[in-house]
Structure 1
């Protein structure tokens, strides 16, 4: 009754041009996204959890202490699930289809708070895991990982500033380089420097990032201001502005993604594909086929 009086007014009921994205339809058809962000986040997380394979559900259950930091979670099949870790197990599922992390040395560039590392070490007996990041981010990831990993696992993690990674001896090599949502906010020169390092020091490389930029203000209201928007358009290797919710546009730009993140001429992309759930994210796994020295 209230909805009929407040939203479905006689005037609104006759205005059909945009009613499906207006309050008149938010009670009839779906919830208002502008004030129901957490509701939609939980719905998305729930659906992702429901679609996990049995293997990835097992991966998720091996990750202890996921509740530290008070994540926004849903309960599925008895498990508390948050968006971060459901993505992490999907990333690990993709990586391990073409690479076995057991006994290997891994280098991650831009680890955030460390969810990929936490997921990897909870599921595989890696030899060592190196994280390269800015100093404040290293403070966050080192503090978090010390809380969530056991002592033996944490002892395998090494934290390097950007200057320190440049000082590694030439003999220091890695079996896998990882970049998850890391490169799109860097300058082009910085990304190229990291790719050159990976080309020289790694045998495999996994990357997950956007295939392009967007200017659709309805997605976020450009809440951080025009200056931040303009800066975002100048960073990363892939700066074309596209309709990020057009599957054909995303697929067309995915070819640019695979080419842009190939670390060097001797590398081959062994697998690539859409990185759920974000419509314009892609992922790829590369192998260095350069003959051993």
Structure 2
């Protein structure tokens, strides 16, 4: 006979497999176990995409009207089938949310229209795409490794207009020295790649920026983490050690401790200043990642 207030088949299954009466849960860790993953929390190990979409959704709803307009100006964002959500009828992904927020930070202090811009390490080109879609820049130069240059060249050719694409110059690492002695750049951009380079390479790039640019925007991690709970070290220990050995900021911190990140941000601001005659214009947390910082410097 069914109970007037009886359980559903779904909860009969949960009670049998996750909350059996003859198994008293270990209270010391039950909130990180299958017990709580059925009561209050989706298991992050198998719900990564659900959490990513939640992050995109929440971050997208917080865009200011100005930043929403910036987003709408970026056409062809859906190329490549990104993980996305639909907000106000628009498909929105995390890459372009970050690009818009980064552009907002830069544009507060640098005149983007008519600017000559140099980006070091552009990935597939989403920052270039966002900037050229919102500003009539004079030139946009990208320095990168050959593999990434091939990808960014093809991607940007596909998403930009012909007129916009003609403003881009793609430079391999053997062509970097040619930039010395030319017209100065109004802005140099580095997002999430200084931390993945050999330390001396970062120092060489900072010296280059000191010699050829008047502003630097950088967004990078403030330090390293060594927490297998975050990714299971799925690529193996050799890759973990490679990551720990790269960049200028190799201190291992608790990247989800806001006080530790804030304290380490002082080192971030120190090491990324290109030279003695540069001043910090603005800095702050690099949304949305807990241990990223962003800063904009100007040459005096």
Q: TM-score, normalised by structure 1?
A: 0.97
Mapped partners of 2:179, 2:105: distance in 1: 29
Alignment partner of 1:8: what SS? Answer: coil
Contact 2:187 2:214 in 1 (8 A): yes
Q: Return the offset for 1:39.
A: 0.5
Q: Return the offset for 1:268.
A: 0.4
Q: For residue 155 of structure 1, what is the aligned residue in structure 2? A: 166
Q: For residue 261 of structure 2, what is the aligned residue in structure 1? A: 250
Give the counterpart of 1:260 among 271, 294, 300. 271
Q: Return the offset for 1:168.
A: 2.9
Q: For residue 49 of structure 1, what is the aligned residue in structure 2? A: 60
Q: For residue 115 of structure 1, what is the aligned residue in structure 2? A: 126
Mapped partners of 1:263, 1:223: distance in 2: 35
Q: For residue 79 of structure 2, what is the aligned residue in structure 1? A: 68
Q: Deviations over 1:193-251 (max 9, x none)?
A: 00000000000000000000000100000011001111111110100000000000000
Mapped partners of 2:110, 2:118: distance in 1: 14
Contact 1:12 1:24 in 2 (8 A): no
Q: Return the offset for 1:12.
A: 4.4
Alignment partner of 1:88: what SS? Answer: helix
Q: For residue 247 of structure 2, what is the aligned residue in structure 1? A: 236
Q: Return the offset for 1:172.
A: 3.2
Mapped partners of 1:106, 1:114: distance in 2: 13
The unaligned stretches of length 5 or more in structure 1 are none
Q: TM-score, normalised by structure 2?
A: 0.95
Task: Say yes or no: does 1:141 pair with 2:152.
Answer: yes
The unaligned stretches of length 5 or more in structure 2 are 1-11
Q: Return the offset for 1:79.
A: 1.3
Mapped partners of 1:96, 1:12: distance in 2: 58
Q: Return the offset for 1:11.
A: 5.0
Q: Return the offset for 1:171.
A: 2.2
Q: For residue 186 of structure 1, what is the aligned residue in structure 2? A: 197
Mapped partners of 1:14, 1:233: distance in 2: 37
Of residues 10-19 and 212-221 in structure 1, the stretch that sits farther from structure 2 once superposed is: 10-19
Q: For residue 86 of structure 1, what is the aligned residue in structure 2? A: 97
Mapped partners of 1:112, 1:241: distance in 2: 25
Q: 1:150 to 1:22 in 2, by over 3 A?
A: same
Q: Return the offset for 1:13.
A: 3.6
Alignment partner of 2:127: what SS? Answer: helix
Q: Return the offset for 1:189.
A: 0.2
Q: Which has the larger radius of gyration?
A: 2
Task: Say yes or no: does 1:167 pair with 2:178.
Answer: yes
Q: 1:265 to 1:12 in 2, by over 3 A?
A: farther
Mapped partners of 1:255, 1:221: distance in 2: 29
Task: Say yes or no: does 1:206 pair with 2:217.
Answer: yes
Number of aligned positions between the proteins? 289
